[in-house]
Amino acid sequence: MVDIFLCSTNFYKDLFIQSGFPSEKIVVMPHYVRQLPYVSAKDKSGEYALFVGRLDPEKGVETLLEAWRLLKIPLKIRGDGQLTLQAKQFVELHHLNHVEFVGRLSEEELSDLINKARFLIVPSGGYYETFGMVIVEAYSKGVPVVASNLGVTSEIVSDKYTGLLFESGNPRDLADKAAWMWDHTTEADTMGRNGLEFFENYYTDKRCYHTLIKVYDELIESR
């Protein structure tokens, strides 16, 4: 009885087809974010690495913290969840003075926090992200991304073009990729600009609006 299924990525489209959904009934329409003002790459302060998300096991929090035991890069963590207390205890136990937990923020404050990051970290492990909205938010501000090569993130993050991919669940690999991104500011700025272009081509409200209207028009015509 369903004419069209809307799916956020090609990764999930393929999974649904493998599960028996008819390919001709699936239309890929990514989620979008409303673009807030961003600072151009040449003006970015790039003061820290940034994690934004739930502090839950499937988000790769343990991988993130273990990686930061190997680094001296300033890291800001915005989020809370099941592992909030454990994460703070880990930071205190290992004297990770370069790791800071950030409290709840307004939309504008969160936008500014992302804006001033050198790069965003998405260390998810153990399960597939449904989409990865925070990646698109970073792209909208010209911020590159270091992400695990798991599921949908490897579709949204183009390795060595809009960011870097590391082996999911591997703290050493994450530390190596984060250190490279921190030390290579010119390349990081280029990846940030590529991410912004990627955002403008695929993840704006206007782009998604046109995709949705096209679906509606085709459904109406088919009736």
Residue 36: pLDDT band (50, 70, 90) is low
What single string gives the DSSP state of each residue in 123-185?
---SS--S--HHHHHHHTTT--EEEESSTTHHHHS-BTTTEEEE-TT-HHHHHHHHHHHHH-H
Across the range 158-165, mean pLDDT stands at 97
Across the range 33-37, mean pLDDT stands at 67
pTM summary value: 0.88
Residue 41: pLDDT band (50, 70, 90) is very low
* Cα 159 to Cα 35: distance, rounded to the nearest angstrom: 23
pLDDT recorded at residue 154 = 86
pLDDT, tens digit, for every residue of 48-107?
999 999 999 999 999 999 999 999 999 999 999 999 999 999 999 999 999 999 988 998
Average pLDDT, the chain: 91
What six digits make up the tokens of 168?
């999911």
Write the burial class of residue 208 (CB in 10 Å: 0-12 exposed, 13-18 middle, 19+ buried): middle
pLDDT recorded at residue 181 = 97
Give the Cβ contact number of residue 156 at 10 Å.
27
pLDDT recorded at residue 105 = 92
Across the range 159-174, mean pLDDT stands at 97
CA 190, 196, 202, 203 dihedral sign is positive
Question: pLDDT at residue 42 above 60?
Answer: no
Buried/exposed code over 60-83 (b: 16+ C-beta within 10 A; e: otherwise): bbbbbbbbbeebebbbbbbbbeeb
pLDDT recorded at residue 25 = 94
Question: pLDDT at residue 168 above 70?
Answer: yes
pLDDT, tens digit, for every residue of 97-153?
999 999 889 988 998 999 999 999 999 987 788 888 899 999 999 999 999 999 889
